[in-house]
Amino acid sequence: MNRVVHPIERESFRRLRARLDTSHFPPLTRAVVERVVHSAADLEYASDLVMGEGELAKAHAALHAGAPVVVDVEMVAAGITRRPTVCRLRDAVAGDGLTRSAHAVRLAYEEVGPGALWVIGCAPTALEELLTLDASPALVIGLPVGFVGAAESKAALRESGLPAVSNVSEKGGSAVAAAALNALLYHPISPEENL
């Protein structure tokens, strides 16, 4: 993907790297850590994020081969500007112990099937619902935010054994979830360095 990096973004990453040494991370992990830290101006994400380089490499390949990207809310979709996404929240309804976000996950899975990249940055119940499906995801970026269920849903994601990017704390959100996906989207297929 050819992307023109604005001078402000370039300077922002320079300053980030002056304050946080990311050189010890493998390439894709470094890309995700830096994008997430950059999106929130929060250096603590460097020690809060949990992911595996091998899983990121497989997800990177799937993404660049055209795997669908599913998001839980339009705010996440708005942050992913160079790739179409699937968000079914507008079509979803709450009921029978199911939140709108959880229903939207069911609807999206019916649409895309297995092998998608799932980006959840808002609703813990969306992540919880995804874990009940046999979605066989290429990757789950599970970074919902909040004091009710966020940390617990991310812990359940890590325990599930699914390929994932998550974090330990309650923080997260649409911007950081989109940033994690963008890190994989912007990272070159060839081994050259990129922002």
Q: Which residues are catalytic?
A: 38
* Secondary structure of residue 70 in the 3-state scheme: strand
CA distance linking residue 154 with residue 128, whole number of Å:
9
CA distance linking residue 138 with residue 116, whole number of Å:
5
Q: Do 119 and 72 meet the contact criterion of CB atoms below 8 Å apart?
A: yes
CA distance linking residue 30 with residue 38, whole number of Å:
12
Burial category of 96 from C-beta neighbours within 10 Å (exposed 0-12, middle 13-18, buried 19 and up): exposed
